[in-house]
Chain A
Amino acid sequence: MNTLNLSTPSPAGLRRPGSLAAVLALALTVLAPSQGLLRPLADGLLLLAALAALRPASGPVRGALSLGLIAAAAVALFLALPTPLQGGDGLRLLAILALAQCSVRQLAEQPDSRWSGPATAGLFGLWLLYLWELGVTVFEVPRVLLPAPSLIVQALWDNTATLGGDFVQTVLKSVLIGYLLGNGLGVLTGIAIDRAPFLQRGLQPVAALTSTVPLVGVAPIAVMWFGFYWPSKAAVIVLMTFFPALINTLAGLEAAGKLERELMHSYAAGYRRTLLWLRLPTALPHIFGALKVNATLSLIGAIVAEFFGSPTAGLGFRISTEAARMNMPLVWAAIVVAALTGSGLYALLSRLERRVNFWHPAFRSR
C-alpha cells in the first residue's frame, strides 16, 4: 500500500481466502448431480456470475458488466429456487453464500460515487431476502415461525383492501392527527415558554424526566378516557411527541449566536422580528430532528395503543389478532406496511428539511 488508507482496512489480504472458498464451492456445485431442466442453466449462470464477482472490477464498464452478470445470476437463482433439501444442495448453498459474500464485497470496494452506496446496500438487502426465502424453503421452516418473503408478498397482495383499511385507521386518523397536534403544541409551547426563563428552567427538567418514562404505558388510560376509536390513539401520540418537540424547540431557539442577535438588535428589530427572521430559522434543524424522531414514535404509540383495545381495524389490531390466530404471513404484511409508512414519513421529512434548511452547512456541502 503506497497510500495511507486509515479509515478502512486493506481489502487485499481479505479477498484471497474468500475467493478461494468461492471457487472451491462453485467447482463442487458444478460437479454435484443436478436434476431438472433449469438446474444446469442456473448452475452455469451461477458460475459465470461468481467469476465476475471474483474479478476485481475497476472502471465503469467492467463494473456494469459484472453487475449485469450478477443480475443474471439472480434471475437464475430465482428459477432454481430449490424445493426441500436434496443431495448436493448443501454444496450449492455454499456456492450461493460465497457468491453473495463476494459480490457484496466487490461492490463495496468500488470507488465512492452517487450510486455505489445505495447499490451496495440494495444488493445486500436483496441477498438477505433471497437467503431468507432459500433458507425457509430448503430447511422447511414452518410458516408459523417464519413465512417466506414470497408468502408475505402474497399476503400483501391478497389483503390489499384489509390492510388499506388498517392504514387509513392507524396512519391517516390516529397518527396524522396525533402527530400534528403533539408537534404543533410542543413547538408553540416552546416558543411561548422561551420568553419566560423562569418557566423554562422549571419545565426543562420535567420534560427531560419524561424521556425516561415509558409513555406508551398511558395507552390503557387513554383507551379508558377516549374510547376505542382513534381519539385515544391520537391522545397517546400527542403525549409521546409533545415533550421531544418542546425540548428541541427550546434548544433550537437558544441556538442563535450572540453576534447575530446583537446584529438584529442594532437593526432595531423587535422581539417578533428577531424570532421570525433569526431565531426560528436557526431553530429549524433542531425542530426537524424532533419531527423525525416523533414520526417513528407516533407510529409505535398508535400500534401499541391498539394492543389495548381498538375497533376492528388498524395495524396494531391486525398484528395482535392475526398473531393470536397464527396467520403469520398477514402479520408480516402488516409489519411491512408499518415499516414502509415509517420510512416513508422519515424520507418525506428529510426531503422537506432539505427544502427548508438548504442554507444549513449539513446540506450546503452537497
Chain B
Amino acid sequence: MSTDALHRRVLPVMVVGAVILVLWYAAAIGLNAPGTIERVLAPQGAWTWTDLLRATLAMQRPVLPAPHQIAADLWSGLVDWPVDSPRSLWLHTGVTGEATLLGFAAGALLGMLLAAAIVHSRTLERALLPWVVASQTIPVLAVAPIVMVILGSLGFEGLMPKVVIATYLCFFPVTVAMVQGLRAPQRLELELMHTYAASRAHTFWMLRLPASLPFLFPALRVSMAAGLVGAIVAELPTGAQAGLGARLLTSSYYGNTVAIWSALVMASVLGLVLTGAITLLEKAVLRRMRPAPSRSGA
C-alpha cells in the first residue's frame, strides 16, 4: 500500500523536480555561454567544450546562476556570518518575517472584527462590504510608496511602515472570507438557536464562528502570502537597511545575480514556513473541534 502511495504521489513530484533541475542546468549553460566566451575564455586563448561547460557553471556574475551556485551562496549566507551581520541571510529573513507576522496578526484581527461587525449590521453590510470587495480589484501595492512617505514624515521609520502595508494586504482576504463564513450557517440552524433563546453573542460564538473556520483558514494562508509580498515590496522604495526586499534591491544594484536568487529562495522558504504554520494550526484547531459538539466554547 505504501509503495503504491509512493508511486502515485512521490514519484511524479520527484520526476518533475528532476526535469526542472535538468532544464535549469541546460538553460544556465545556454544563457551563460556567450558571456563566458566573451569574458573568461576568449582572453585565455584556446578552449575546449569541457572548459566552456565548467566555466559557464562557475561564473562570477552569471545571467542565470546554476542551482549549485545558489545553494552555495545560501549556505554561506546562512552559516559563514554571525546572525547580526548584514551579510547573514538570517538577519534579512528575520527582519522581513517579523514585519510579515506583525502585519498578518494585525490584519487578520482587523479583518475578523470587521467581518463580525458587517454580519451584525445591515448598514455596514450594504455600505461598506461592496467597497471592501471592490478594493480587491485595485493593485494595492501601488499605494505602498505613499504609505512609506506618509509614515516617514510622521516620524515612523523602519518596522512600522512595513507592518502597515502588510496589514493592509492581509486584511481584505480575511474580511471577505470571514463574512462568507459567518453567513454559512443554514437558516434552519439559526432558527434552532433562536428557539433555544440564544442571544446574539451566543449564536455568534457557538454557531457562526465555528461555521466560519473552514472559510477562514484558506483566507489566512492567502493573506499570509500577500503580507509577505507586502513586506518585501515595502522594503524597496525606502532604502531599507535590512530585509529580503532590501537585499534584492542592493543585489540588483550591484548586479550580484547569485545573491538575488538566494534572497528569492529564502523568501519562498519563508513563505512556505509561514503558510505551513497556518496549515498546522488549522489541523490542530479542526481536530479539537471535531469531537466537541457537546463541549461548550472553543
Contacts and interface: CB of A to CB of B under 8 A. Distances in A.
Interface of A: 4, 6-9, 11, 104-105, 107-109, 116-118, 120-121, 123-125, 144-146, 198-203, 205-206, 209, 211-214, 216-218, 220-221, 223-225, 295-296, 299-300, 303-304, 307-308, 315-316, 319-320, 323-324, 326, 328, 331-332, 334-335, 338-339, 342-343, 345-346
B121 to A, nearest CB: 7
B153 to A, nearest CB: 6
Given A145-B150, A214-B229, A108 B252 contact: no
A110 B264 CA distance: 52
A6 B14 CA distance: 52
9 contacts: A4-B194, A104-B123, A121-B127, A121-B130, A202-B13, A220-B248, A331-B146, A339-B139, A345-B137
Q: Which 5 A-B pairs have the closest CB atoms?
A: A202-B12, A220-B252, A202-B16, A124-B127, A212-B271
Nearest to A339: B138
Nearest to A332: B146
B171 to A, nearest CB: 15
B37 to A, nearest CB: 18
A340 to B, nearest CB: 9
Contact of A300 (B141, B145, B232, B275): B141
Contacts of A11: 122
Contact of B121 (A8, A116, A121): A8
B1 interface: no
Given A104-B123, A124-B128, A214-B228, A343 B272 contact: no
B136 to A, nearest CB: 7
Given A120-B127, A202-B16, A145 B154 contact: yes
Given A109-B122, A124-B131, A212-B272, A342 B139 contact: yes
Contacts of A224: 63, 252, 255, 257
B190 interface: yes
B237 A323 contact: yes
B138 A338 contact: yes
A54 to B, nearest CB: 15
Interface in B131-187: 131, 134, 136-143, 145-146, 148-150, 153-154, 183, 187
Using C-beta atoms within 8 Å of the partner chain, give the interface range for chain B: 35 or more
Contacts of A209: 268, 272
Contacts of A108: 122-123, 125-127
Nearest to B255: A224
B272 to A, nearest CB: 5
Given A217-B267, A323-B237, A146 B122 contact: no
Contacts of A105: 123
A197 to B, nearest CB: 9
A273 B136 CA distance: 37
B12 A328 contact: no
A121 B127 CA distance: 4
A176 to B, nearest CB: 15
A304 B141 contact: yes
Given A121-B127, A214-B268, A343 B134 contact: yes
Interface in B253-297: 255, 257, 260-261, 263-264, 267-268, 271-272, 274-275
A292 to B, nearest CB: 8
A323 B147 CA distance: 10
Contacts of B260: 220-221
A238 to B, nearest CB: 16
A295 B138 CA distance: 10
B257 A303 contact: no
Contacts of A335: 142-143, 146
